[in-house]
Amino acid sequence: MWNWPIWPCATASSSAVSWSRGQVIHRDGFRADCTLCPRLATFLAAVREREPAYHAAPVPPFGDPAGRLLVVGLAPGMHGANRTGRPFTGDYAGELLYSTLHAFGYGSRPVSEHAADGLRLTDCRITNAVKCLPPQNKPTTAEVNTCNTYLRAELAQLPAGAVIIALGLVAHRAVLRAEGERLSAFPFGHGREHGLQRDRWLIDSYHCSRYNTNTRRLTPDMFHAVFRAATRRLGG
């Protein structure tokens, strides 16, 4: 099994990626050179100049390309995914996420340190509603909508019966928009389970951010309950 992301130096089957002018394009349409959002592209250019060792580019999804569980976050964090190039890696939010994935058998180890640490996900992958670091961690509505094209392509790869966990309201709405569903018909609520087309399920969770966990809005038990529900939906 190989796990996304796939970089130019890696090898993979032709069904996983295609090549265009030296750039790697994932089968879900993700482009590492995307600059569709001018504000985000300008911000990333400034970050690259200030922090040349950082990834500071669109962050691709990570995990099992055939996975039936998709975890959708908000956007890369400055010193997390934006630094390491892997979703939820290198920042506080990833600590709870990856330890939970490991506890439920989706991750090969409980900690995600960097993109070359050997971590593998099984039957699961992780992505973000917005692939680029936004200033102050706050993407605009227009940026979320622009990046929804990529999320829509990712969701199209999911099989019937798949489960999507949305971390927070923005991710929840992004998934519904990508699925072509009416937002008002699926109100967000921690632990809520929403039936979608093709026998797929959307399960909501508060985001595993430092703020939410420090204030106890989200506890490890609450987070585990979400993944327990997802695993049950997948027949586990």
The pLDDT tens digits along the chain (236 residues) read 335 443 332 222 223 333 222 333 355 578 889 999 999 999 999 999 999 999 999 999 999 999 999 999 999 999 999 999 999 999 999 999 999 999 999 999 999 999 999 999 999 999 999 999 999 999 999 999 999 999 999 999 999 999 999 999 999 999 999 999 999 999 999 999 999 999 999 999 999 999 999 999 999 999 999 999 999 999 98
> What angle is formed at CA 171 by the lines to CA 91 and CA 207, rounded to 5 degrees?
45
Parse the chain into domains and list their residue ranges: 17-233
Alpha carbon distances (Å) from 83 to 35, 59, 92, 223? 18, 10, 13, 25
- 54: closest CA among 2, 132, 120, 136? 132
Q: For the domain made up of 17-233, give the CATH fold.
A: Uracil-DNA Glycosylase, subunit E (3.40.470)
pTM of the entire structure? 0.89
The four Cα atoms 87, 60, 122, 194 give a dihedral, to 10 degrees, of 80
Residues 6+ apart with CB under 8 A from 58: 30, 31, 32, 33, 34, 131, 132
